[in-house]
Each structure stands twice: as C-alpha cells, then as structure tokens.
A and B are shown apart, each in its own frame.
Chain A
Amino acid sequence: MSRVNDVGGQTGFGSVVPEENEPVFHADWEARVYALNTALVRRGAYTLDEFRDAIERMPPQAYLAASYYERWLHAIEELTAGPSGGKDD
C-alpha cells in the first residue's frame, strides 16, 4: 500500500545520475513555483507535511509522468483550490 513516491531501494528506476553543473532551476517557472510554495508555507496556508502528503496523493501515472516542480505545482493547486482548499473538488 506504499505510495508511488516511496521508491527507495526499488529496482527498475536506474541509478541516480547527478547532472554536471546543474542549475538551481531549469526554467523560470520552476523558480516561481518554488517561491510560491515557500510563501504559502511561511504564511501558514498549509504545512510542509501537508504539501508532501498532497504530492504523494497524486495518481501514480501522473506522479511518474511529472517533473519535480510539476509535482510541486500540482500540490499547490490541490491545497489552495477553492474556498475548501480543494477538499470538495
């Protein structure tokens, strides 16, 4: 029943290959997503644990197809959508 994010030690994903001279962000929108999440957590819109939980609740197919910051954006949308915080969507 473990969620799709919990792949530590699981075979089939290949090795972790560090990118040489990797930039902090690969696109401007990634920096905006990072800043948006930081601001929302610091202002108490949600906690970091709720944020991680929202990422882990992504459907496995969507999670595996998404890039790192696409997952962040998904979680921000999930946690901020509508007056109910997305709970009733």
Chain B
Amino acid sequence: MTEPAAEAAAQAAAARFAPGDRVRTRALDPDRHTRLPRYARGCTGRIVAVTGTWPLADDVARRRAEPDVEPRVEPVYTVAFAARELWGEGDHEVTLDLWQSYLEPHGKAAS
C-alpha cells in the first residue's frame, strides 16, 4: 500500500506540466483508438489542472492484440483552448482532459 502523501508526491514528480503552462497538442493521427480528438490536434492551450494519473486509454484498448504490453500510466490534465484556436471562431474556452503523452511544451508559462 502506498501512503496517500507519497502517492501524491509520486504523481507530482511524474507530472511534466503545471497549471498555467502553455502546451501544444501533438498532431498525431493514429489509425487506432485515441482520446485526443481530431479537432484538437496541433493546437495550443493552457494547463488548468492535473487530474491524477491514469492508464493511457490508447494502450489499454490494444491489450487483446498485445497482451504483453503494459499500458503506460500517465498524468492527465485539464487543458483549456480558445474556441478560435480549435474552430477558427468563437469567444469561449473549451476544456479537454488529455493524457501527458498527447502534449508538448509550448513557450513560456502564462502569467
């Protein structure tokens, strides 16, 4: 059993991003299950929160075909995007929960 505090520390250590960080979603287009929707690929957004660590759905979905592969467990973030960034129009924000491997750093943290 892991102590809650130790677990939280381990999660914080594994988290590559923190609230306020600017990120860009990867422009991947895999021919398999993923939880990064097409409309949000290659877009820049802002980390709002770290929501915990979870097995990567892309990997879990492949367990029958590849039973020896252990799914990656990664931090999941709530990421805010300007609607204009996703759709080319709109003044509101859209938030998505995204796994860490969908994201890469993009510039400096927003102040």
B33 adjacent to A56 (CB under 8 Å): yes
- The reply to whether the CB of A47 lies closer than 8 angstroms to some CB of chain B is yes
A49–B61 touching, CB < 8 Å: yes
CB of A52 within 8 A of CB of B64, answer: no
Bitwise interface map of A from 1 to 13 toward B, beta carbon under 8 Å scored 1, else 0: 1110010111000
Q: Are A53 and B61 in contact (CB under 8 A)?
A: yes
Interface centre among B32, B61, B86 (most CB of A within 10 A): B61
Contact assessment for A8 and B39 in the assembled complex, using a CB-CB cutoff below 8 Å: yes
Residues A53 and B33 in contact, CB atoms below 8 Å apart? yes
Interface band, chain B: 10 to 19
- Which 10 residue pairs spanning A and B have beta carbons closest together? A9-B39, A53-B61, A53-B33, A49-B61, A49-B60, A2-B38, A49-B57, A6-B38, A8-B39, A1-B31
Minimum distance in angstroms from A38 CB to a CB of chain B: 18
**Interface flag for A63 (CB, 8 Å):** no
What is the interface of chain B mostly: helix, strand, loop, or mixed? loop
Which chain B residues in 44-83 approach chain A with CB under 8 Å?
57-58, 60-65
Chain B, Cβ-Cβ closest to A9: B39
**22 CB < 8 A contacts A-B:** A1-B29, A1-B31, A2-B29, A2-B38, A3-B31, A6-B37, A8-B37, A8-B39, A9-B38, A9-B39, A46-B64, A47-B60, A47-B61, A47-B63, A49-B57, A49-B61, A50-B61, A50-B64, A52-B33, A52-B57, A53-B32, A53-B33
